[in-house]
Amino acid sequence: MFLSKLTKLPFTGADVDIKGVTEDSRKVQPGFLFIATPGLKQDGREFIDDAIKKGAVAILVPEDTPDTPVTTFKTSDVRHETCVLASTFYPKQPQTILAVTGTSGKTSTAQFTREIAQALGHSSASIGTFGVVDAWGTHYGALTTPDAITTHRLLDECANKGVTHVAIETSNFGIELKRLDCVKFKAGAFTNLSRDHLDYHETMEAYFEAKRGLFSNLLPADGAAVLNADVPEFRPLSETAKARGLRIISYGKKAKDLRLLDARLDDGSQILSLEVFGKKMDVALPVMGSFQAWNALCAAGLVIGGGEDAEKTIQAIGKVSVVPGRLQFIGLSKNGGEVYVDYAHKPDALENVLRAMRSHVTASGGKLGVIFGCGGNRDKGKRPMMGDIAQRLADWVIVTDDNPRYEDAGTIRAEILAGCVDKTNVREIGDRGAAIREGIGKLDTKDAVIIAGKGHEPGQIVRDKVLPFDDAEEARKVIGQ
């Protein structure tokens, strides 16, 4: 595609044929357009010479940048223009694109949305923490919201496969860094807000404003806002949605649209009693964890917001499945204790999963244990908070390593332990494999343990290396022994 067809911006130099578009100079090939994006850690302009040496024939730069030796064009907003270029180079999008944002629950909600849409007869996919998941399999990815070019390439590929419905996890970074500016959403949802990413945003107010951007900027005027009525953010988000003319679909115990009246356990499922736009309905949710009821209703709201019949959508909740690494049952220990793996790596997520399992374990007369750590080079303030939550809600705790990255692992564990007022039933075992063996070995009949923090992740990040490590596989090894 020639540059004159790709952008409306004026450029200096020849109208070159663009073979590919990238913000990463390492991915440049002959005939590529290189976008020199000022980044959070590095400025893309530092790599212009390297990109040209690799064959870049055109460069997009901020407007205060000198011309380069090849065709050059400039803009005051590189991030937005990147979305425009990406959506032009990869022009196809599925007809129904649904977004979910919030601190916790995005991955579960995206999977449930995909499965509900699939159950209603649509070719569906989800894009997020697991990469791209569709009827053809799972293609692993590393970011909750990929960069703009990758996002549009994936949407184009989905559309070419015949996918009509896509659920996208939209992170605060994806919204604030304008990775989704040209995605044609039909509905967007909000799950909840709790402490996270304060190493970047610094304040909860700034963090919330990034999330609110989905409703204030990204959804079209005829779109739908699916909002959790049980969280304090419901009111300001409703005001934003009303100001934009968005259709509001509320969900939760305080909701008027998808109202949760009751949830009771029934042989590994939850029977949800609902009031759906005024009509009473019951549906079996085949997933453990009371918090998953909210995620399922959120997903249903998105599908309804995308144009589907409400009653049929609610009935399709019964077709969803367990999300890998989200309160995932792994097996029984030699003494009959239950072993679960969960991705909870934030205070509210850890509290939710422990409270959900507490009611399950208490009913059977057992004890609840938790094995967890905290990631390095991330918000340090949540470490003692998580130590306090674990010590209060579990009968015993093992503090171990998570992804220490470039921090000293022992220091991270010490900061977690500082939040444990009563250390009577708290142990510190740095080696995560040893911690898992110790924890499973403690289980008796009717007991349960949650191995928290890493969920589906297949590796442990230590400095600049990703060491193979899978909580579920480690737990299965111990159970097998």
Give the model confidence (pLDDT) of 436-450 as tens digits.
999 999 999 999 999
Identify the domain boundary among 319, 350, 371.
319
What is the token pair recorded at 139? 């293609």
Domain CATH for 407: 3.90.190.20
Q: Tell me what pLDDT residue 140 has.
A: 56
Residue bearing the bigger pLDDT, 171 or 87: 87
Which residues make beta-bridge pairs with 17?
A: 2
pLDDT at 224 over 90: yes
- Residues 316 and 153: their CA atoms lie apart, in Å, by 30
Domain range for 341 is 328-480
- Output 41 or 353, whichever has higher pLDDT: 353
Task: Clarify whether residues 121 and 260 are in a common domain.
Answer: yes
> Which burial class, exposed, middle or buried, applies to 433 when counting CB atoms under 10 A from its CB (0-12, 13-18, 19+)?
middle
Per-residue pLDDT, 481 = 82
Task: Pick the more confident residue, 206 or 230.
Answer: 230
- The verdict on 181 and 309 lying in the same domain is yes
b/e for 344-382, b at 16 or more Cβ within 10 A?
Answer: bbbbbbbbbbbebbeebbeeeebbbbbbbbbbbebbeeb
Q: How far apart are CA 412 and CA 402, in angstroms?
A: 9
Query: In Å, how far are 159, 214, 407, 418 from 411, measured between CA atoms?
Result: 48, 37, 8, 11
Closest CA to 82 of 126, 141, 146: 146
Average pLDDT over residues 311-327: 93
88 in a domain, yes or no? no
Distance CA 31, CA 46 (A): 20
Nearest-5° angle of CA 232, CA 168, CA 381?
Answer: 50
Based on the fold, state whether residues 129 and 278 are members of the same structural domain. Answer: yes
DSSP three-state, residue 276: strand
Instruction: Say yes or no: 460 and 335 in one domain.
Output: yes
Assess if residue 409 is contained within a domain: yes
Give me the residues paired with residue 32 across strands.
20
**Residue 413 banded pLDDT, cuts 50, 70, 90:** very high
Convert the pLDDT of each residue in 137-186 to its tens digit.
767 565 567 899 999 999 999 999 999 999 999 988 889 888 999 999 99
Q: State whether 72 and 107 are in the same domain.
A: no
| Residue 64 domain flag | yes
Mean pLDDT for the chain overall: 93
Contact in structure between 168 and 134 (CB atoms under 8 Å): no
Query: Locate tokens 């390593």: which residue?
Result: 401
Q: Are residues 227 and 197 in the same domain?
A: yes
Q: What is the mean pLDDT of residues 370-379?
A: 95
Shared domain for 414 and 450, answered yes or no, is yes
Answer whether residue 136 shows pLDDT above 90.
no
Residue 142: per-residue pLDDT:
53
User: What is the per-residue pLDDT for 56?
Assistant: 98
Cα–Cα distance, 369 to 357 (Å, whole number)? 10
The pLDDT of residue 398 is 98
Closest CA to 294 of 102, 123, 434, 29: 102
pLDDT band at 200 (very low <50, low <70, confident <90, very high): low
**pLDDT computed for residue 450 by the predictor:** 97
Quick one: what percent of the chain has pLDDT higher than 70?
97
Rounded Cα distance, 97 and 301, in Å: 13
Residue among 268, 266, 101, 109 nearest 183 (CA): 101
CB of 105 closer than 8 Å to CB of 192 = yes
Give residue 131's pLDDT band: very low, low, confident or very high (50, 70, 90). Answer: confident
125 and 73 inside one domain: no
- For residues 476 and 185, what is the distance between their CA atoms, to the nearest angstrom? 40
Encode burial over 274-292: b for 16+ CB neighbours within 10 A, e otherwise. Answer: bebeeeebebebbbbbbbb
pLDDT value, residue 197 = 57
Under a CB-based contact definition with an 8 Å cutoff, are residues 111 and 128 in contact?
no
**Residue scoring higher pLDDT (456 or 376):** 376
Would 84 be classed as within a structural domain?
no
Does one domain contain both 225 and 131? yes
Are residues 152 and 290 both part of a single domain?
Answer: yes
Q: Are 172 and 202 in contact (CB under 8 A)?
A: no
The answer to whether residue 226 is domain-embedded is: yes
How confident is the model at residue 174, as a pLDDT?
A: 85
Question: Looking at the predicted structure, is the pLDDT value of residue 472 above 70?
Answer: yes
Residue of 35, 11, 9, 31 lying closest to 20 (CA atoms): 31
Task: Give the model's pLDDT for residue 459.
Answer: 93
Residue 134 lies in a domain: yes
- The rounded distance, in Å, linking the Cα atoms of 167 and 86 is 19
Sign of the torsion angle spanned by Cα atoms 151, 153, 158, 162: positive
Report, as an integer, the average pLDDT of 308-316.
Answer: 98
Q: Which of the listed residues 265, 289, 319 is the one where a domain comes to its end? A: 319
Same domain for 62 and 117, yes or no, is no
Q: What percent of the chain has pLDDT over 90?
A: 81
Place of tokens 């990255």: 405
The number of beta carbons lying within 10 Å of the beta carbon of residue 412 is 25
**Could you tell me if residue 83 is inside a domain?**
no
Least confidently predicted of 190-204, 226-240, 266-280 = 190-204
pLDDT at 203: 85
Q: For the domain that residue 250 is a member of, what is the CATH number?
A: 3.40.1190.10
Picking from 319, 346, 375, the residue at the C-terminal end of a domain is: 319
In the prediction, which pLDDT does 106 show? 92
131 and 30 fall within a common domain? no
Number of domains in the chain: 3
Side-chain half-sphere exposure of 215, counting CA atoms within 13 A: 32
Nearest-5° angle of CA 93, CA 221, CA 230?
A: 100
Tell me, yes or no, whether 446 lies in a domain: yes
SS3 136: coil
pLDDT at 367 over 70: yes
